[in-house]
Amino acid sequence: MDFLPIFVDIKSRPCLVVGGGEVAARKVELLLRAEADVRVIAPALGVSLGELRDARRVRHLARAFEDDDVAGNALVIAATDDPEVNRRISKLCREREQPVNVVDQPALCSFIMPSIIDRSPVVVAVSTGGASPVLARLMRARLEALIPSAFGQLAELAREFREQVKARLDDSGARRRFWEKVLDGPVAEMVFAGRRDSARSALASTLEDESSAPVGEVYLVGAGPGEPDLLTSRAIRLMQRADVVVYDRLVSDGVLDLTRRDAQRIYAGKERSRHALPQESINQLLVRLAGEGQRVLRLKGGDPFIFGRGGEEIEELAAHGIPFQIVPGITAASGCAAFAGIPLTHRDYAHSCAFVTGHLKGDRPNLNWKSLVQPQQTLVIYMGLVGLPIICDQLIRHGMRESMPAALIERGTTSRQRIYAGTLKSLPGIVERAGARAPTLTIIGEVVRLRDKLSWFEPRSSDAAAESAG
C-alpha cells in the first residue's frame, strides 16, 4: 500500500486550508462535515467559501500564506494555484511532521483525501493513491448503488443496543453470531424499508429470546421487462440474500443469474392453458417456505402489482402473519416502450395511457371496448399475442380507425428484442407471418409514429431486431 487507510478524529480541532477557490471549498466542506474548526488563508474567496465565511462556518484570513501559519494545526490542505506556495507548504509540514495534503499532487502529500460513501456513522473511503481520482469516483458511484442509504440508521440501531447485548451475552462468539443474524436478517430489512420502530422491537425480541425459532420472510420483487441493468439496487440486494427463489416464466435468464448460486430455485411460471403451479399453490408455497424460516424471493416479471397477481400473494402472507417486502419493478409498458422509442404520452399525440391485459377468457378478450377507443389515448396491451386479431378487430368495430399506428414488441429490452410495426388492420398479419412468440407487448396509438424518429436501442447481436413494416 502506498498509503495507510485510517480515519482521523478532527472534531473541534484546528485545520488549515490555504486557497480560496472552488477546489479549496470542496475540501473545506469535507472538513466541516467532520466538525473540524476550519481556518482559510487566501487573499480573496470564491463564491462558495464566501458563503461559508458569511455564515461564520469558517474563519478567513484575507492575506497570503506565511510560514508560521502551519503551526498548531491537526492537518493542513494546500489548494492554491501557485505551485511554489504548495511545495513550500508541503516542505514546512513534513519538517514538523504535520499531516499535509496538496491537491492533485500526490508526491507532496503525507495523506490523501479519498472518495467517500457517507452513511454516517458508516463511512467507506475509496482511494487509488492519487493515481486516478476519476477512477476512485467511478468506484464510489458503484458502491453507492450497492450500499443502502439506511445503512447508517442500521449502525445507529446497533449502537443503541450494543451495551444491552454485551450485558446479556457474555461470550464474544455468541455476540458475534447474534449481530450477524440481526445485521443480515429481518431486522436489517425493516430498517432498509423505513420501519425503524418495528426493527427496534424485533431486535429487542430477538435479544430477549435467543432460542426462538428462525423467522422467515418473503421478498416480492419486480424483475422488470428482462434487461438486468434495469433492476433496482434493492432488488439486487434481496436477490443475493434469498435462500429460495420462486420465479415466473417472464423472468429473464440474465436476471435469474443475479440470484445466489446456492439458492434453491422453484419454477412457478404460467403459460396459456399450462400453469407449472396454480396461483393458490404458489400462495401456499410462499407461506410454507417462510414458515420454515427461509428467506424467499418471489421474483415476478415487470412489476408485481401490474397484472402480476402480487396483491393476491401478499394477502395470503398477511393472513398468516408472514413478514414481507415489496420491491417495485419497471413494468413492461414503460420498459418496452422506452427501448422501442415509443413515448406512451406526448403533448402532440396522447394525453392519457390505458394498460389492459389481452388474455383470452374463453375464446376472446373480456374488455370494455368503448372505454379503450378514446381520442389522444395510448393503448398498451399485455399478454395479447394470441388474441391480437380479435383485439384489433373489436377496436375497429368500436370506432378506432383501421390506419391507427400499432406495434408489437417481442422480448422487449433484451438483446433479442424485435419490433413489428404496422396499423391496427395490418399488424395481426405482420405478426403472424413473422412467427412472433411470447412474451410480447402491444402498443396502439399515434405515439407509435415517433418510433423511427426516437428509437435509440441497438440490439447486442446483429440478427436480434428484425422489424416488419405494415
Give the catalytic positions in this structure.
248, 270
For residues 235 and 80, give the distance between their C-alpha atoms in angstroms, rounded to a whole number: 45
Q: Cα(first)–Cα(last) distance of the chain, in Å?
A: 63
Q: At what angle do helices 151-168 and 172-183 cross, to 10 degrees?
A: 150
For residues 322 and 345, give the distance between their C-alpha atoms in angstroms, rounded to a whole number: 39
Distance of CA 439 to the CA centre of its chain: 25
For residues 218 and 300, give the distance between their C-alpha atoms in angstroms, rounded to a whole number: 13
- 433 burial class (0-12, 13-18, 19+ CB within 10 angstroms)? exposed
Beta bridge partners of 103: none
For residues 450 and 448, give the distance between their C-alpha atoms in angstroms, rounded to a whole number: 5
DSSP 23-70: HHHHHHHHHHHTT-EEEEE-SS--HHHHHHHHTTSSEEE-S---GGGG
Burial 188-216 (b: 16+ CB within 10 A, else e): bbbbbbebbeebbebbeebbeeeeeeebb
For residues 53 and 51, give the distance between their C-alpha atoms in angstroms, rounded to a whole number: 5
Q: Are strands 59-61 and 217-222 parallel, antiparallel or unpaired?
A: unpaired
Q: At what angle do helices 47-54 and 22-33 cross, to 10 degrees?
A: 40
Distance of CA 140 to the CA centre of its chain: 15
Using CA of residue 299, residue 305, residue 306, residue 311, what is the dihedral sign?
positive
In order of 2, 296, 305, 443, the CA distances from 345 in angstroms are 54, 37, 21, 12
Q: At what angle do helices 427-434 and 388-397 cross, to 10 degrees?
A: 170
For residues 125 and 140, give the distance between their C-alpha atoms in angstroms, rounded to a whole number: 8
CA angle 451, 455, 459 (to 5 degrees): 125
For residues 375 and 352, give the distance between their C-alpha atoms in angstroms, rounded to a whole number: 9
Q: Which three cell numbers stand for residue 235?
A: 432488488
For residues 271 and 358, give the distance between their C-alpha atoms in angstroms, rounded to a whole number: 13
